[in-house]
Structure 1
């Protein structure tokens, strides 16, 4: 096995081991935990039921209630009136208070009653008026009301000065203790154990039928409520949550049975049983909240509307009600999977609905072990298989694995089981990315080796394309629109006579290297060198939508490179050289062409021949660069504006009947007067008005006496004035020589 293959397998194994260790708890990863939470939240939102149970309503102390009835806390008499209205006028079945009354209400009249009796004889024998707490207690005693309170845990910062508990707790839960399979001692279970509590005044708690806590010490590290404990252990006694206390009251307050088993020298709590209603829990007696929808899914009525009697009785009659608040100022808003801002009272409503419908999802104790085994098998399969697969097959299998894993997980979800999802998805993604990267690296190394060999025989700029697309080596080639360039050095034969043969190779490299560099820098492909001549094309092997523009820019760069080379030649005592360049755009046959013994990546066709003919005409017209009308039309309007052009001639080249319009690429933009003279002279010439054309060209020569093109057309105008062309003359000049 190659070193690269060993590296690929080793890296894959390390990724699998890392995920296995994280899932088993050896090195927990906050990132993976966060991904699991996100995947859980996504599943929750994707599978929300259509509606919440109608038998549960929320009586909301909302902003409207605070505006109408005053800021919280309200007078206890007003709370008593609200409770009495709910039961007497709206006939609710049960009321849970997501509130706590831990302090006595201040009653100034009752406090000053003794002094008033001394001052007013009429009050001497009268009893003091009843306080709000006593009135609220009497009201609560008349109805099935479950109070609320909360536990607290000591922070390390205030451990030295712990705060005392306030109020009194309700009676604890009664544990069912069968003679066979007795439950474990509470001290053997990892239950939540608070340090203190803030509960209701004794007079209120003793009047109620029960009470439950509404705090949640199991909020996840990202601050989102996903699970809530059903019970907490305070001083070796179990106390229920507010929804559980309400549910237990509906059942007639049956004892609770702990479902726990002993394994691995420790007790494992798996659930709680209340009168035959079983709730699966985690080891700390917490359940996953059965969400029914975003905030407002449960029927919600305003407390102010209840007191004013404006609520439809059908919304409350026979229902189970929870009194709580959604007003932001009362600090009972939570972050949940279904809403970033969610009233705490609706969390209790969701839990109570889940109890009534037995609608709890559960993460079983075997989930970790099953996930570890699944990750191990999946990792082994991918580690063995993926190094042998091409990229398409690898991606296809990975996509199938992702879909299969997600589908299996969703099936378990609908069966009530919450199994880890993100770890399996992450394993597939990481191993896919790793193996793709390794396969790419190995293939790149192989391509580099092939490139080093092919580079000895074919132009280097084609090697990567040939290696990546071996099917491109088709001898028949392909027809594409390309731009071809031919260049030839003027007077090179006489130049070479002045250079010693031993130095000629150096001079050729000195000439052709900057020319080749100019072509490559503008994305051109060198076709071949023909002595001092160069043939190149644009648009292949790699597609180039701007091939005409890049070819023209390459031609300009070649002329500039020749200027620098001529300076070097002069310093060496050699004469300067001139170069003619012809550029043409059209359909050409491009591909690997040749024989079984030797091939070359080249272009063929009539348009290639025309490009060669255009280059030859640069000598006739005395222009460094000539481009065809087809090349000009292939440029965008913006590109043509950047390019200083002037019309040269409409010609027929030898061996071709169709005429072609030629343009000169100028080294600099002419002034407006010169541009006008040249353009107007050409237009007059094409129209056969040789006298007018002659005047324009004379004007151009007055500005630039050495303008070879203006000289040529001046002489041609003189000729046509002496020997007029035929009546059907089309303005095309036919060249009989190449």
Structure 2
């Protein structure tokens, strides 16, 4: 035994050390990193709001636009018209270009203009006609437009093209780090817009992403990149900076471990947490088409319904057409237009809605893994299999719950390493602990796990006779309960909420049955069937059944208070109880078995429950149950009726367990009224029942006695009332 536990401990420590090394990068295999990426993607998709801020819109050069106005590239005069219409006709607030114009537009007229002037004298004094670049430059200069460009990493000596926009104005502080000592992204070249366009733009920002994860998924994007010791903003950051009046930027840096680290940047009072390379996690709002899109063709056509989509909005002009290759793989979709990624980042910048990965996350995760691993390695060898699984599930729930709480607070902490640790340790110890479980306990768990409350297992183990599941005849007490008018109640509740309501309703009812040593036979929608006296013998089965019924009604009162607080109507429950000889045991077929009770007395218990609504009673019991109780109870009981239920000739006397204090004061009056009724003194019985005010039982019998006064029963009348319905 000692050797086995040492073997378990050594294996556990090996798992802990391996995961700790993976987390810190001492021996990286990329397995843990890929699991973390998967867990990140799962968390993203599980917490999507699927509702983007309404201030943003995408102007899409889609397939419909290409079909209507020709293939890309479009004439720049046409793009100028698109810009002018967006602002003049539809009052757009700002526009960002997820496009780059790195070359001048070819103009055949300009190339031949001098020759045309020589051949056509009237043109000799005319200036060169404006080009498409000039038209687009005028449009860009006239409105708040931010152009786009991209950086590249290249091993070749290829030259940059176009003109870079003005770099960021960085405010230096005493705690600022030199730019060349920060682990920023440093590209080798750029491809930007031609000079006439870039000089006309209000600002410019890059739209490339050099921080794509190794699995090719866009999860983060850099806000700035360094080129020639200058910082240049991303397209979304440049747009926000333009809205803020070209606000300067302050870098949040600190010196630790002999290295400068970047933690975030501040721009005009807007603070954005970043990783050391100035990248932020994309704040996903939903899948494809979460942001509203307007087709460029609709703007060029002048569609009137575009006005409400563009007015006072901030837009990004880009393309979702597959042929233009601006599609990316993201956590929310395998094919995602680049302009929607920029829109998500732009929305996150303006609302400061970013999740951050704090620099201390690795240290905390390493320490947490090590401590949790040590605790579980010490604890697990001492637990039986079931307790080990429960403990693991509890630890797993706490771990995931704590991580999701941090997620809700905007922190992204590693979760896969902890889950993997718990799963591996659980599997390791379950494998080695399996032989330690007692065969007898395993048999008992297999036989009775679905039938009896867990707290009775120890008693069943101590009573071998109780483990016989073959059919037997025993005196038992059966209970049926049903929620009244539950169908109409459920019709007004959404299906998703109905499941929660059922759990909220049945959980305390089941708990009440288990606490009084009852065995759940089955659930039938909102109805419950239970019995007492098997599989474990219980000499007080009738008492425990009635006590459980009282506890069930009290639990329903508490649940009704919760329902009313949630705006739901109150519910009422009828409970019928009968005691008698029944057949109990494992019954069913070769394919499926159930531990249940059968017999005429079981059917009678069901019929009694069905009569609770007729008499307005919460709990009805038979005279057989009352006799089995004897004097061993402290609850009040009053007579109800002598009835013959449908399908059974032998009458049964019914009694009500009184819970209402006002009804308890009427017990003597009801007993007197019942005696008068049985003695055919219907006038006196009517007066006695009528004096019970609004008591449902009194109203029912006052009406019945009034009928018998006008229509006296036959001389052989035995006082039995026959019910024709179940």
TM norm. shorter chain > 0.5: yes
Residue of 366, 371, 379 corresponding to 2:360: 366
Aligned equivalents of 2:590, 2:231: Cα separation in 1: 84
Q: Is 2:210 the partner of 1:204? A: no
Aligned equivalents of 2:467, 2:281: Cα separation in 1: 66
SS at match of 2:290: coil
Map of 1:36 onto structure 2: 36
User: How is 1:512-523 mapped onto 2 (pairs within 5 angstroms)?
Assistant: none
Q: Is 2:360 the partner of 1:388? A: no
Structure 1 alignment gaps of length 5 or more: 448-469, 482-633, 637-738
Q: Is 2:123 the partner of 1:123? A: yes
User: How is 1:81-100 mapped onto 2 (pairs within 5 angstroms)?
Assistant: 81-100=81-100
Map of 2:163 onto structure 1: 168
Per-residue displacement from partner, 1:551-602 (whole Å, max 9, x unpaired)? xxxxxxxxxxxxxxxxxxxxxxxxxxxxxxxxxxxxxxxxxxxxxxxxxxxx
Map of 1:433 onto structure 2: 427
Aligned equivalents of 1:415, 1:475: Cα separation in 2: 56
Kept in 1: contact 2:298–2:306 (CA 8 A): no
Report how far residue 480 of structure 1 moved: 6.0
Per-residue displacement from partner, 1:332-370 (whole Å, max 9, x unpaired)? 111111111111001111111111111010010011111
SS at match of 1:29: coil
Kept in 1: contact 2:51–2:290 (CA 8 A): yes
Map of 2:134 onto structure 1: 134
Q: Is 2:335 the partner of 1:341? A: yes
Map of 1:226 onto structure 2: 219
Aligned equivalents of 1:343, 1:137: Cα separation in 2: 26
Map of 2:562 onto structure 1: none
Q: State which structure, 1 or 2, has the greater radius of gyration over its C-alpha atoms.
A: 1
Kept in 1: contact 2:253–2:260 (CA 8 A): yes
Report how far residue 412 of structure 1 moved: 0.6
SS at match of 2:170: coil
Residue of 312, 315, 318 corresponding to 1:324: 318
Aligned equivalents of 2:268, 2:148: Cα separation in 1: 23
Q: Is 2:275 the partner of 1:279? A: no
SS at match of 1:147: strand
Aligned equivalents of 1:476, 1:72: Cα separation in 2: 82
Aligned equivalents of 2:324, 2:390: Cα separation in 1: 53
| Residue range with higher mean Cα deviation, 118-127 or 130-139 | 118-127
Map of 2:78 onto structure 1: 78
User: How is 1:88-487 mapped onto 2 (pairs within 5 angstroms)?
Assistant: 88-154=88-154, 159=155, 161-178=156-173, 181-310=174-303, 311-440=305-434, 443=436, 478=468
Report how far residue 121 of structure 1 moved: 2.1
Query: Which 4+ runs in 1 deviate beyond 3 A?
Result: 470-481
Map of 1:67 onto structure 2: 67
Number of residue pairs aligned between Structure 1 and Structure 2: 453
Aligned equivalents of 1:374, 1:476: Cα separation in 2: 47
Report how far residue 474 of structure 1 moved: 5.7
Aligned equivalents of 2:48, 2:89: Cα separation in 1: 34
Aligned equivalents of 1:635, 1:208: Cα separation in 2: 80
Aligned equivalents of 1:262, 1:479: Cα separation in 2: 73
Report how far residue 2 of structure 1 moved: 2.5
SS at match of 1:346: helix
TM-score, length-scaled by structure 1:
0.60
Distance verdict in 2 for CA 1:38–1:477, change over 3 Å: closer
Distance verdict in 2 for CA 1:88–1:435, change over 3 Å: same
Report how far residue 164 of structure 1 moved: 0.9
Report how far residue 476 of structure 1 moved: 10
SS at match of 1:312: helix
Q: Is 2:20 the partner of 1:14? A: no
Map of 2:26 onto structure 1: 26
SS at match of 2:96: strand
Per-residue displacement from partner, 1:424-463 (whole Å, max 9, x unpaired)? 11100000001111113x549x99xxxxxxxxxxxxxxxx
Aligned equivalents of 1:248, 1:308: Cα separation in 2: 32
Report how far residue 314 of structure 1 moved: 1.4
Report how far residue 257 of structure 1 moved: 0.3
Report how far residue 31 of structure 1 moved: 1.8
Per-residue displacement from partner, 1:511-559 (whole Å, max 9, x unpaired)? xxxxxxxxxxxxxxxxxxxxxxxxxxxxxxxxxxxxxxxxxxxxxxxxx
Report how far residue 114 of structure 1 moved: 1.4
Structure 2 alignment gaps of length 5 or more: 440-459, 472-588, 592-726
Report how far residue 49 of structure 1 moved: 2.2
Aligned equivalents of 2:465, 2:234: Cα separation in 1: 82
Aligned equivalents of 2:191, 2:203: Cα separation in 1: 15
Per-residue displacement from partner, 1:652-676 (whole Å, max 9, x unpaired)? xxxxxxxxxxxxxxxxxxxxxxxxx
Per-residue displacement from partner, 1:481-521 (whole Å, max 9, x unpaired)? 9xxxxxxxxxxxxxxxxxxxxxxxxxxxxxxxxxxxxxxxx
Kept in 1: contact 2:175–2:253 (CA 8 A): no
SS at match of 1:206: helix
Aligned equivalents of 1:635, 1:414: Cα separation in 2: 50
Aligned equivalents of 2:38, 2:163: Cα separation in 1: 40
Aligned equivalents of 1:338, 1:191: Cα separation in 2: 27
Report how far residue 51 of structure 1 moved: 1.5
Distance verdict in 2 for CA 1:472–1:146, change over 3 Å: same
SS at match of 1:270: strand
Aligned equivalents of 1:274, 1:476: Cα separation in 2: 75
